[in-house]
Structure 1
Amino acid sequence: MFAVVRTGGKQYRVAAGDKIVVEKLAGEAGDTITLGDVLLAGEGAELKDVAGLTVSAEIVAQAKGEKVIVFKKRRRHNYRRKNGHRQRHTILKIVAIGGEKPKKAAAKKAEPAAAAEA
């Protein structure tokens, strides 16, 4: 079974056992997280209903990407600036696809009419 999930403003096609590199997520290596924004799910050529579907993943590592060099120059003005940037990202291992989203605990309403009858 596969799913298309959205995290960090990007979309990823994942299946159980896949490793993906996503924008930095909170958590330590070994933690389990749930990706709840599932856009599409299916098995083979058939599509499944995504209502209540979640993707469970384990954080493998928190890492940094390759360095990107930013170089600015203005001709004939002796203006040069060199800067570097390393984007932080999280490496995830997809554990399972499926399951219910955790529902919010509804406040229990006391029924005064039922209590008065007893």
Structure 2
Amino acid sequence: MYAIIKTGGKQYRVEAGLKLKIEQIPADIGSELSIDQVLMVADGDNISVGKPLLTGASVQATVLEQGRHDKIRIFKMKRRKHYQKHQGHRQNYTQIQITGISV
């Protein structure tokens, strides 16, 4: 059984037991989450697709970690103009583990 969920402006395919890094959610480590934005649920040959969301479906998850991704370096340059710009960015994330899918 798997589901397609939407969180943080992105869509993820999740199954029970899957560990996943998503956009940061303000939650304590060890707390339980319920994600209500479920787009699709598939159980064998039974596939339920929402328009756009499934009503009554949810995915339960446990927060494992709050952290930051590796630094992304941004470098801009215009040749022969003495222009160089260095910049970096680290995106925050929340690591969750999917504990169950309910329809």
Q: Look up the match of 2:84.
A: 80
Q: What is aligned with 1:4?
A: 4
User: Sequence identity of aligned pairs in percent?
Assistant: 35
Task: State the alpha-carbon separation in 2 of the partners of residues 86 and 44 from structure 1.
Answer: 39
Residue aligned with 2:90, SS:
strand
Q: Give the superposition deviation at 1:79.
A: 1.2
- Count of aligned pairs: 99
User: Which runs of 5 or more residues in structure 2 are unaligned?
Assistant: none
Runs of 4+ off more than 6 Å: none
- Which one of 56, 80, 98 corresponds to residue 102 of structure 2? 98
Query: How far apart are residue 48 of structure 1 and its match?
Result: 3.8
- Measure, in 2, the Cα distance between the counterparts of 1:7 and 1:28: 17
Distance 1:73 1:42 in 2: 48
Question: Structure 1: how far apart are the matches of 2:11 and 2:78?
Answer: 38
Aligned equivalents of 1:20, 1:45: Cα separation in 2: 25
d(CA) in 2 for partners of 1:57 and 1:26? Answer: 14
| Per-residue deviation, 1:87 | 0.6
Gaps of 5+ in 1: 100-118
* Structure holding more helix per residue: 1
Higher relative contact order (CA 8 A, sep 6+): 2
Query: 2:63 matched to 1:59?
Result: yes
